[in-house]
Amino acid sequence: MRQEKYFMPVCPQDLTERGIEQLDFVYVIGDAYVDHPSFGHAVISRLLESHGYSVGIISQPDWKKDDSISILGRPRLAFLIAAGNMDSCVNHYSVSKKRRQTDAYTPGGEMGRRPDYATVVYGNLIRRTYRDVPIIIGGIEASLRRMAHYDYWSDSFKRSVLLDSQADLISYGMGEKSIIEIADALESGIAVRDISFIQGTVYKTKDISGIYEGVMLPSYTQMKEDKVRYAESFGIQYENTDFITARPLIEPYPNHIYVIQNPPQPPLNTAEMDRVYALPYRRTYHPSYEERGGVPAISEIKFSLISNRGCFGGCSFCALTFHQGRTVQTRSHESILEEANLLIGDPDFKGYIHDVGGPTANFRHPSCEKQMTHGVCKDKQCLFPKPCRNLKADHSDYLALLKKLRLLPGVKKVFIRSGIRFDYLLADPDDTFFRELVEHHISGQLKVAPEHIADAVLSLMGKPEHSVYEQFQVKYRQLNQKAGKNQFLVPYLMSSHPGSTLKEAIALAEYLKGIGYMPEQVQDFYPTPSTISTVMYYTGLDPRNGNKVYVCRNPHEKAMQRALIQYRNPKNYDLVYEALTIAGRKDLIGFEKHCLIRPGKNNDREKQQVQENHKTTGRKSMKSSKDTMRSSKDTLRSDKDSMRSDKDTMRSGKDTMRSGKDTMRSGKDTIKSGKDTIKSSKDTIKSGKDTIKSGKGTIKSSKEIIKSGKNTIKSDKNIIKSGKDTMKSGKEKNRKKHTIRNVHKKKDIR
Ligand code: SF4
């Protein structure tokens, strides 16, 4: 078949136009059909096409209608099934098992276009119509449910998805090599029940006599009855994830059925990776989705480049080891630059490459040389608890790739959005990559995932000690200062991971208080299939060593742990208060600097009161309902009266308005007359003032007259006095004259 740049057939008309009488494979998928290498169905369908097989796509069939599965007819070789880029239950539900509102992998983001447990549902749908056509299941959902597993959403222990879906084979992991081998085996006429020899597959059988060096796992029945047996089984599975060292694993089921997991497919070398990414993808969603608004997920990936796959990080809550393996596989610079040029040629490209990464952005080669011949170590991790002495911590290849991308004409910026493993970054003695990361590849903030700060929890998570993150923070700050930048460091944190008690959650809250940061969103631990942490959650044991692990399962305690991370949010006050009280950490309630919350809003008495109220509310509510009904009838009656009375009120209101207008008119007259009175009073006051003024003048002048009169009287008195004195002196003179005369007279007499 020719490789051309068209979408795979999706309807009978496409088959007619391309002259296809019968397809080799019909691929049933839970996602919308997006022909982009970030979608597993695109890679597998293009790869099969490149090997000469025809593939038709049935995307999101209506699983309630049997004929939805037969629109492309019976395939010549097999049906393929993939639930989508995510497990269908993760896609549908949040960690609190609440239905999500949108589905980024469905046209228009519409929710509900695929069933829960899509692989099982589609498998049974096909079997109802085609009893003898081989069914091959793959993708993340089938891959991580390939053996018996704990299912969080139904809270049950489930069989291998191979049995529940009625499929014949699982192609687990990334599946490029195994799907071609399966296709070639079917093409050569080998019956699907005899395809038991391909790496990267899981099959079922009743005869295990031919299995070479197989490892017998505990049976499904044993594991279902005893969680310890499941932890043991998972521990063995975890040690058998490397293509060189893994052995076939045999899981027995009732009725002498065995589910056999063959070792993983070998990792792709660089040339094989390049070939996969050079296939003629249309790089977008099927045009039939246009009228529904397209597929939202495309915006995240359209201008991003995948540079690697596989991860030797070994985080316990991540299933990547089980899906892609620990061996890092990379594309060549040439392959990535070629794809970058396709991005640049897109009319919507604005000069920004959003990401150059993979599961871990800064893993661009296997962790050591030894693993390429001997496989990755079964009994130790490359980075945990400390970087292995054989670890090759070297960013030079990634650095060179990023430089080349930056220099491409039309590229303004190249960002890294995939996770950076900071302990690996610090293990590199050359800090050039770290410096260039800060200078060129961060858009304002770098998101990293320390996940927690309590070493006890970090150890169960498979993460480095908190001190490593602190070293990273210091260096990040220094490099930002040197570069003259002020870029933030945003830590991803996880609450309620196995091992985290309230004590650790409080320690995390205290840390956040110390650095003055409160995350906008908190990720609760999500027990997705086939992770070490999920096994801890289900069994209470660490499957690596059988040690007991504390598990927070109570939704209320989970809520408290989550609230502690966002202790500053007023909505979380009660939960934080309760958590601190239960943990005996009331010292963190107060006004001191180190306290998380203030007292006052809540106290024990109030709390007791609330609880009592809750108890009595139930009893009271029935009685209250009856009262309410009765009261409603009364209210109805009263409402009618009210309406009647309202009409009267309206009538009376109109009269009041009329009378009000008259009053207003009369009021205006009164105001006018008042104004005249005031004016006349003012005149009177003015004239009074003049009179007073003139009176004062008269008084003054009278006073002057009186004063002058007094002076006249005084002067008159002086005159009188002087007159009297004159008179007196005259009398004295007269008397002396008389006396003298009398003397003279006497002398004369004598
Ligand atoms: S030797 Fe070290 S780096 Fe290599 S696989 Fe083993 S743990 Fe990882």
CA 372/CA 369 separation, integer angstroms? 6
CA 327/CA 314 separation, integer angstroms? 11
CA 43/CA 333 separation, integer angstroms? 20
**CB of 496 sitting under 6 A from ligand 1:** no
**CB of 367 sitting under 6 A from ligand 1:** yes
- Whether 612 shows a pLDDT value over 60: the answer reads no
**CB of 377 sitting under 6 A from ligand 1:** yes
> According to the model, what pLDDT value does residue 341 have?
97
SS in 3 state form for 490-502? EEEEEECCCCCCH
What residue owns the CA closest to ligand 1's atom 7? Answer: 382
- Give the nearest ligand 1 atom to 392 CA: 3
Q: Which two tokens stand for residue 49?
A: 């096409």
CA 106/CA 59 separation, integer angstroms? 10
CA 358/CA 256 separation, integer angstroms? 41
* Mean pLDDT across 613-642: 45
> According to the model, what pLDDT value does residue 593 have?
92
| Residue among 242, 321, 371 whose CB has most ligand 1 atoms within 8 A, to mutate | 371
**What's the gap in Å between 103 CA and the centre of ligand 1?**
39
pLDDT digits (tens, 9 = 90+) for 471-516: 999 999 999 999 999 999 999 999 999 999 999 999 999 999 999 9
What residue owns the CA closest to ligand 1's atom 8? Answer: 382
| Residue among 312, 321, 326, 382 whose CB has most ligand 1 atoms within 8 A, to mutate | 382
CA 432/CA 445 separation, integer angstroms? 19
CA 29/CA 176 separation, integer angstroms? 17
pLDDT digits (tens, 9 = 90+) for 518-562: 888 889 999 999 999 999 999 999 999 999 999 999 999 999 999
- Whether 725 shows a pLDDT value over 90: the answer reads no
**CB of 390 sitting under 6 A from ligand 1:** yes
Helix, strand or coil, per DSSP, at residue 466: helix
Transcribe 615-633 into DSSP letters.
Answer: HHHHHHHHHHHHHHHHHHH
pLDDT digits (tens, 9 = 90+) for 415-470: 999 999 999 999 999 999 999 999 999 989 999 999 999 999 999 999 999 999 99
> According to the model, what pLDDT value does residue 689 have?
63
CA 235/CA 229 separation, integer angstroms? 10
pLDDT digits (tens, 9 = 90+) for 218-247: 999 999 999 999 999 999 999 999 999 999
> According to the model, what pLDDT value does residue 683 have?
58
Q: Identify the band that residue 614 occupies on the pLDDT scale cut at 50, 70 and 90.
A: very low
Q: Which two tokens stand for residue 257?
A: 């059925």
Q: Of 470, 525, 520, 518, which Cα lies nearest the Cα of 496?
A: 525
Q: Of 260, 250, 245, which Cα lies nearest the Cα of 379?
A: 245
Say what the pTM is. 0.79
| Residue among 242, 363, 368 whose CB has most ligand 1 atoms within 8 A, to mutate | 368
| Residue among 245, 369, 376, 428 whose CB has most ligand 1 atoms within 8 A, to mutate | 376
Select the highest-mean-pLDDT range: 58-72, 591-605, 619-633: 58-72
**CB of 380 sitting under 6 A from ligand 1:** yes
> According to the model, what pLDDT value does residue 518 have?
87
Name the average pLDDT for the chain. 87
**CB of 388 sitting under 6 A from ligand 1:** yes
385: CB partners within 8 A, 6+ apart: 459, 464, 465
Q: Which domains does the chain have, with CATH numbers?
A: 12-203 (3.40.50.280), 270-481+527-541 (3.30.750.210), 482-526+542-627 (no CATH)
Q: Which two tokens stand for residue 651?
A: 């009538």
Task: Report the share of the chain in percent with pLDDT over 90.
Answer: 77
Q: Of 416, 410, 476, which Cα lies nearest the Cα of 440?
A: 416
